[in-house]
Structure 1
Amino acid sequence: MAGGGLSVAAAGGVEFEAKITPIVIISCIMAATGGLMFGYDVGVSGGVTSMPDFLKKFFPVVYKKTEEGDLGSNYCKYDNQGLQLFTSSLYLAGLTSTFFASYTTRRLGRRMTMLIAGVFFLFGVGFNAGAQDLAMLIVGRILLGFGVGFANQAVPVFLSEIAPTRIRGGLNILFQLNVTIGILFANLVNYGTAKIHGWGWRLSLGLAGIPALLLTVGALLVVDTPNSLIERGKLEEGKAVLRRIRGIDNVEPEYLELVEASRLAKEVKHPFRNLLQRKNRPQLIIAVSLQFFQQFTGINAIMFYAPVLFNTLGFKNDASLYSAVITGAVNVLATIVAIYVVDKLGRRFLLLQAGVQMFLSQIVIAIILGFKVTDTSENLSSGIGILVVVMICTYVAAFAWSWGPLGWLIPSETFPLETRSAGQSVTVCINLVFTFLIAQAFLSMLCHFKYGIFFFFSGWVFIMSFFVWFLVPETKNIPIEEMTERVWKKHWLWKRFMDDDEYIQDDLPKKNGFEEKL
């Protein structure tokens, strides 16, 4: 992800003039439906995998353990590699497709990449809803994964490039807001369809077609970003779109900067290799680390498997789905909070505050479960159960206004245009690698770690908070292409990577003294 609408630095650090135009707001809302699809996929899988009819058809071994009294340990009821593969196959497919998406994002544009994602989503929904056997089910999940890879590559880039700098954070978080709305929608659907015996799970999987259709139609209607059009040589069209989205006639300063950044970017023959060069290492380290830490907060362990988790903790089936709906609603509301405060309070403050909140809530959950949930106890008391839900909601809220949206926003603000698509590919790739690992391993980890799994994740929250304190710079209200001068060159550690001698690359020959601008 990368540039906000003010994609290149103005001389002297002056921001380019821009109005908040309806076309920007509408385009961002439509593009962010890619997040809606992603969130629905995340949320629906956990609910469906706790439905007896679904388990009986595709995972009879798990069904036997959960429904017919062969319980063994409460923590191990759902420990099944096939069941985990159903969830994680989507993320593995997304991982492999993101590199193809990098190519289409650069060569065909952000808009076309979003359209490709929508088509993959629609086919995946068809296979899943009509699945007759496990193979058909997994094929559907793989197609959905391709959609995730293309959508997660294009949508955040689109949002960052089209938004004016002063509201870039808020508009970019629309993607994450839609992810949380998708999760909530999925939980509500699962709560209803769980009561439909025989085919309720098909309805849950099939309703993913709604956000898939919204993304596809949205991709047909939105304009591509000026950055993308200029990058592909459509200079006049890019200038016209820039004029439309900024709502002013005089866009010449920003336009000229975009053209210059595009010229610079085209001289980079190997963008992925370029990422490893000295001047790009800080951005790469931050992007990779944020994606790693985002997954090791433990959020997907809760969001993928919320109904399964609550069942494991002794909640009855309806109560577990109901609790998952509550956490989904908290997720949405807290993400809305992030939209309002991210450009005021800044990125670092939200990450650090949330680190404390997430750490403490996970410790409390682990202590409660350690004393109250044994291998064979059937139910938590209502009071203790409510306390667990409150603590999980406290944790989810902290994640939703910090690591959820900022794990995507901060990388989107840091890569320069010449490595933007490659950087976004790596960001998505790392995210999906660890999403896959957590999805594939969580139920087994729950079985073996038991309540200690929350101690495990809280330890990572502690580590990543120190990482933010020392190594993550503040990026709010800074035009994207000014990050080098105003952020990286002023950071106590990263400035060492910004030596002028190192800044000129093999792939980027000196041209008319342009390196001095950098």
Structure 2
Amino acid sequence: MDLPTALQSIQPPRQHRINVRLPHTPGYLLASLAVSLGGFLNGFDTGSIGAVTDMEQFAETFGVLSPQLRGFTVSLIMLTGVIPSFFAGQMADKLGRLQVVSMGATIFAIGAALQAGASHLAMLLVGRALCGFGQGMWVSNIVVYISEIAPAKTRGVMVSLPQLVTSSAICFGYFTCYGSVKIHGSMAWRLPFIIMASAAMLLVIVCYILPQSPRWLMARGRREEAERELQKLGVSRAEAEKDILSQVQAAPSLSLWGSLALIFRRPYRRMTGMALFVLGMVQLCGIDGVLYYAPTLFKQAGLPGQEATFLASGVSAILMLAISIPGTLFADRWGRRTAIISGGLMLSGSMLLIGSLYASDSVHAYGSGRWVVVVSIFAFALAYCFTWNVTAKLVACEIQPANTRAAAICTAQGLNFFSNWLVAFATPIFLANSSSGAYFLYGALSLFTVIVLWISMPETRGRSLEDIQQSLQRPVRWGLKFSRPKVKALSGFHCLF
């Protein structure tokens, strides 16, 4: 045997050398994670701004803020977020979901840079106003984009990813401030804004890389582009043909006022009404009062020292992040109604318990009362992150028709921003005048929300967006007995809205 033949005989068979394969990550998962960077910006500001305004270094630059001025400073980002919410959906229908997200992220980056470099309060407020304006453009469109690219069987998890990232960012924001509070000088409070400006520019870049929504392309009559984007996203051909590529082209884009008028006409107004109620009321449970003013709440309960209250806020953020992970992973394993109702009962119970403790003068710097308050605040935040934080936007988005989805969700997000602003602005004023009043109010509003949604909320888990719309458009009447719980929910939904 010659040498070449001998060498060839000892080489391993070709099939044994190409046997190892890397696991394949679906494109829709990568796209959902990337665009969820918007949730990071939202959460990081939420987790840091309350602590920033509580820093001694912040007071050295801007002076000590009154409860009213502090509430206005913290909440301004939500107030200005209301404005773009009324036209962001119409813009997204015309320009595309990612294009509007990119525009909003650019405005947010400018606002964060202004806050980072602020030398007087007016400059800081202008920066917060710009951040709110940018955030109002992307928050809902991120949810709409993910809901339109995700398969039905994993849509709950995918749409919940921005909320999971938000919880992570809240934790990161708390601990960033816990660390930066030890820095001497204004860099202690400027650092969080520098981080936000950098993350916003990264989101701008991401939006130019991700695939467009195939459902949006189909609504624009661009089928070939939709097929190419579906391949990038890794959506199965069977599901694409059944649900997405069979979509009928929507009517041409309407004007801003035309879009707003359309979502309140039959047959869209009952879906719009549910979205408005869900996204408006879930914020009136008081979650932003807890997230923004956690250091103040723990200080009021009797925890001594700035670092102790900041650390308690950070611990609550870690627990919220930990509970958000199973909440996200199980989003498609248990019903949306179950999450909303059970979560609401826990939220209202926690708030009413805290209010009762303060009203009975059972909370002091000593004794067990303060620890019951601290544990109840933790329980409230955890219940919210596990249930309402995951489910509210998901349901509001799932029940909308394709041609009004962006407009209806962005309008509902405008109400959500207003509710956020109201809670963030009023909470420090409430706390300064009554230790129990805010808790009783938020507990009662949470209980009211549970009652209404128990009567009217449909079950949408595991169903395609198109199938949900077909179910919602079927005529249903009171008095009929149905064998499936989800149809009962639809009947109540039909009659309320």
TM over 0.5: yes
Query: Any stretches of 5+ residues in structure 2 without a counterpart?
Result: 1-23, 475-486
> What is aligned with 2:380?
395
| 8 Å Cα contact 1:337-1:401 kept in structure 2 | yes
- 1-side partners of 2:192 and 2:87: how far apart? 29
> What is aligned with 2:38?
34
| 8 Å Cα contact 2:109-2:198 kept in structure 1 | no
Instruction: Tell me the CA shift for residue 166 of structure 1.
Output: 0.6
> What is aligned with 1:152?
139
- 1-side partners of 2:278 and 2:184: how far apart? 42
- 2-side partners of 1:430 and 1:296: how far apart? 11
Match of 1:105 among 55, 74, 92: 92
Which residues of 2 match residues 375-394 of structure 1 at below 5 A?
380-381=365-366, 383-394=368-379
> What is aligned with 2:245?
256
Mapped pair 1:363 → 2:340: no
Mapped pair 1:291 → 2:279: yes
- 2-side partners of 1:220 and 1:151: how far apart? 14
1:208 partner SS: helix
1:221 partner SS: coil
> What is aligned with 2:70?
83
For 1:140, the aligned partner's letter is: G
> What is aligned with 1:169?
156
Query: Any stretches of 5+ residues in structure 1 without a counterpart?
Result: 1-19, 63-77, 499-518
| 8 Å Cα contact 1:352-1:465 kept in structure 2 | yes
Instruction: Tell me the CA shift for residue 337 of structure 1.
Output: 1.9
> What is aligned with 2:29?
25
TM-score by length of 1: 0.83
Q: 1:351 to 1:421 in 2, by over 3 A?
A: same
| 8 Å Cα contact 1:41-1:183 kept in structure 2 | yes
For 2:62, the aligned partner's letter is: F
Deviations 1:484-516 (A, max 9, x none): 333463422344699xxxxxxxxxxxxxxxxxx
Instruction: Tell me the CA shift for residue 232 of structure 1.
Output: 3.4
Mapped pair 1:213 → 2:217: no
> What is aligned with 1:8?
none
RMSD: 2.3
> What is aligned with 1:189?
176
- 2-side partners of 1:49 and 1:26: how far apart? 36
2:102 partner SS: helix
Deviations 1:277-315 (A, max 9, x none): 232222122111112211111100111111122223332
Q: 1:495 to 1:452 in 2, by over 3 A?
A: closer
Deviates further, 148-157 or 165-174: 148-157
| 8 Å Cα contact 1:361-1:392 kept in structure 2 | yes
Q: 1:247 to 1:153 in 2, by over 3 A?
A: closer
Identity %: 26
- 1-side partners of 2:250 and 2:108: how far apart? 35
Q: 1:58 to 1:223 in 2, by over 3 A?
A: same
For 1:241, the aligned partner's letter is: E
> What is aligned with 1:306?
294
Instruction: Tell me the CA shift for residue 91 of structure 1.
Output: 1.0
Which residues of 2 match residues 47-62 of structure 1 at below 5 A?
47-60=51-64, 62=65
Instruction: Tell me the CA shift for residue 333 of structure 1.
Output: 1.8
| 8 Å Cα contact 2:456-2:496 kept in structure 1 | no
| 8 Å Cα contact 1:370-1:451 kept in structure 2 | yes
Mapped pair 1:324 → 2:336: no
- 1-side partners of 2:447 and 2:431: how far apart? 20
Q: 1:497 to 1:138 in 2, by over 3 A?
A: closer
- 2-side partners of 1:33 and 1:419: how far apart? 25
Number of residues of Structure 1 aligned to a counterpart in Structure 2: 456
- 1-side partners of 2:282 and 2:412: how far apart? 11
For 2:355, the aligned partner's letter is: A
> What is aligned with 2:327?
338
| 8 Å Cα contact 1:239-1:255 kept in structure 2 | no
| 8 Å Cα contact 1:266-1:418 kept in structure 2 | no
Instruction: Tell me the CA shift for residue 123 of structure 1.
Output: 1.0
Deviations 1:147-182 (A, max 9, x none): 211121310011100100011011100011111111
Which residues of 2 match residues 212-291 of structure 1 at below 5 A?
212-249=200-237, 251-258=240-247, 260=248, 263-266=249-252, 270-291=258-279
> What is aligned with 2:82?
95
For 1:197, the aligned partner's letter is: H
> What is aligned with 1:413?
398
- 2-side partners of 1:497 and 1:84: how far apart? 35
> What is aligned with 2:480?
none
| 8 Å Cα contact 2:89-2:408 kept in structure 1 | no
Instruction: Tell me the CA shift for residue 184 of structure 1.
Output: 0.8
Q: 1:485 to 1:178 in 2, by over 3 A?
A: same
For 1:222, the aligned partner's letter is: L
Q: 1:247 to 1:417 in 2, by over 3 A?
A: closer
Mapped pair 1:485 → 2:474: no
Deviates further, 29-38 or 388-397: 388-397
Instruction: Tell me the CA shift for residue 268 of structure 1.
Output: 6.6
> What is aligned with 1:515?
none
Instruction: Tell me the CA shift for residue 469 of structure 1.
Output: 1.2
| 8 Å Cα contact 1:30-1:218 kept in structure 2 | yes
Deviations 1:437-480 (A, max 9, x none): 11221111222232232111111111111112111111111111
Deviations 1:184-234 (A, max 9, x none): 110000111111122201112222234323322321221111012233343
| 8 Å Cα contact 2:219-2:250 kept in structure 1 | no
| 8 Å Cα contact 2:458-2:493 kept in structure 1 | no
| 8 Å Cα contact 2:262-2:268 kept in structure 1 | yes
> What is aligned with 1:467?
452
- 1-side partners of 2:117 and 2:362: how far apart? 38
- 1-side partners of 2:367 and 2:128: how far apart? 36
> What is aligned with 2:20?
none
- 2-side partners of 1:204 and 1:140: how far apart? 13
- 2-side partners of 1:369 and 1:208: how far apart? 37
- 2-side partners of 1:478 and 1:191: how far apart? 43
Deviations 1:82-107 (A, max 9, x none): 22221121112111122342233112
